[in-house]
């Protein structure tokens, strides 16, 4: 793991500005948060293709759908809670239903938004977007993967929801990483159990696997960035080969990655599963690192979850 730290939203802003130079059909929309979502970098270079829609997310999503209908490739950004919460039905009706070529890139997902508190901490967005047909849902783990995911979304026709974070996160992937929509990747080999993680929790899972290794427990780490469509092959292999699964996400345990994995394995190859995430509660104010501890998202929490599934597995 590189010691490089970069916020996924910064990687997004830089990549979007690059894409703006490569493809004149790319346009960007924001709802008065362009400095935070980093669409401001695009706005500075291509002001004629940037639309600040003011604090009006519903109209922003609909406008993006119209721009897509006119052949543009709109990237639409605001905080996750507003992109999905405020404008969910606009996303459903105007974007997903017609398969509009709209890329909703939401920043400030999850509890690491920090001090702003529960009103601003989106812990349900993955679940409620995942339930909508035609949506592709991606939660990158680091800056490298964010760049690749943004480029893939621009190149791939159809509606996307990409969830990014506020804070700097460690860089996991090398520059040679090949991102593919709908494909997970194994980051550590292991045979006793598998961590299936997404977003910033993948780094936590890698740390947890290292802790377990010291105890002689062999934990596989599978990173899932595309939560929908889910890479069923890599998850089925993990379940069949390691027999126990711990999912990890900075999101409610209801309906997100943990939900998707449990639904799939429940129907295909049931094994002991523990979903690590926010346990059906709202966020709260605090520093990001305090909140990671408070909500039980640290490597030691994953180690404890691993012990639980191993016990249920009968080891």
The catalytic site residues sit at: 57
Q: Which of 253, 294, 274 is CA-nearest to residue 193?
A: 274
d(C-alpha 126, C-alpha 254), whole Å:
10
Q: Report the residue number, 97 or 294, with the smaller CB distance to another protein.
A: 97
Q: Is 160 in the site for another protein (CB under 8 A)?
A: no
Region at 172 (left for phi over 0; alpha for psi -120 to 50; beta for the rest): alpha
What are the tokens at 67?
Answer: 């721009």
Using CB under 8 A as the binding rule, whether residue 22 contacts another protein is answered as no
**Residue from 50, 51, 79, 295 in contact with another protein (CB under 8 A):** 51
| Identified binder of another protein from the candidate list 22, 70, 175, 214, rule CB under 8 A | 70
| Cβ–Cβ < 8 Å for 129, 251 | no
* Residue 71 in the binding site for another protein (CB under 8 A): yes
Nearer to another protein, 90 or 171 (CB): 90
Q: Which is nearer to another protein, 51 or 179 (CB)?
A: 51
From 11-19, 50-58, 182-190, 202-210, give the range in contact with another protein by CB under 8 A. Answer: 50-58
Q: Which is nearer to another protein, 61 or 150 (CB)?
A: 61
We find the least distance from the C-beta atom of residue 121 to another protein, in angstroms, to be 25
Contact flags string 90-119 toward another protein, x per CB under 8 A: x--xx--xxxx-------------------
State which residue, 39 or 252, has the beta carbon closest to another protein. 39
Number of residues that bind another protein (CB under 8 A): 31
Distance between CA atoms of 124 and 95, rounded to whole angstroms?
A: 19
Indicate whether 61 belongs to the interface with another protein (CB under 8 A).
yes
The least CB distance from residue 56 to another protein, in Å, is 4
By the rule CB under 8 A, 48 interacts with another protein = yes
Residue 241: φ, ψ to 5°: -90, -30
Task: Tell whether residue 153 is a contact of another protein (CB under 8 A).
Answer: no
What is d(CA 201, CA 241) in angstroms, rounded to the nearest whole number?
22
Binding mask 24-43 for another protein (x = CB under 8 A): ---x----------------
Instruction: Kindly report the number of other CB atoms within 10 A of residue 263's CB atom.
Output: 12
Q: Does 64 bind another protein (CB under 8 A)?
A: yes
For the CB of residue 200, give the shortest distance to another protein in the complex, in Å.
Answer: 33
Q: State the minimum distance, in angstroms, from the CB of residue 67 to another protein.
A: 4
CA torsion angle 96 102 107 109 (round to 10): 10
**Binding residues for another protein (CB under 8 A):** 27, 48-49, 51, 53-54, 56, 58-72, 74, 89-90, 93-94, 97-100
């Amino acid at each position: 793991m590189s010691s490089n730290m970069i916020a996924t939203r910064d990687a997004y802003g830089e990549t979007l500005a690059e894409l703006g130079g490569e493809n004149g059909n790319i346009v960007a929309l924001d709802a008065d948060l362009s400095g935070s979502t980093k669409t401001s970098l695009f706005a500075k270079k291509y002001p004629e293709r940037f639309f600040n829609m003011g604090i009006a997310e519903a109209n922003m999503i609909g406008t993006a759908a119209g721009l897509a209908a006119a052949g543009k490739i709109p990237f639409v950004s605001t905080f996750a809670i507003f992109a999905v919460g405020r404008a969910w039905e606009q996303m459903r009706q105007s974007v997903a239903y017609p398969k509009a070529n709209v890329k909703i890139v939401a920043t400030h997902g999850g509890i690491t938004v920090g001090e702003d508190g529960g009103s601003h901490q989106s812990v349900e967005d993955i679940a409620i977007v995942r339930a909508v047909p035609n949506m592709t849902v991606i939660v990158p783990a680091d800056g490298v993967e964010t760049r690749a995911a943004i480029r893939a979304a621009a190149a791939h026709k159809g509606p996307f929801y990409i969830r990014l974070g506020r804070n700097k996160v460690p860089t996991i992937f090398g520059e040679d990483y090949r991102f593919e929509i709908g494909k997970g990747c194994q980051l550590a080999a292991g045979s006793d159990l598998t961590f299936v993680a997404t977003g910033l929790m993948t780094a936590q899972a890698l740390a947890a696997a290292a802790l377990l290794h010291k105890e002689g427990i062999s934990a596989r780490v599978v990173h899932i960035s595309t939560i929908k469509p889910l890479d069923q092959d890599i998850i089925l292999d993990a379940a069949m080969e390691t027999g126990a699964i711990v999912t990890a996400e900075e999101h409610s345990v209801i309906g997100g990655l943990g939900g998707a994995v449990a639904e799939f394995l429940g129907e295909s190859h049931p094994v002991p599963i523990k979903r690590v995430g926010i346990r059906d509660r709202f966020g709260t104010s605090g520093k990001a690192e305090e909140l990671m501890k408070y909500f039980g998202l640290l490597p030691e929490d994953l180690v404890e979850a691993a012990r639980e599934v191993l016990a249920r597995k009968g080891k």
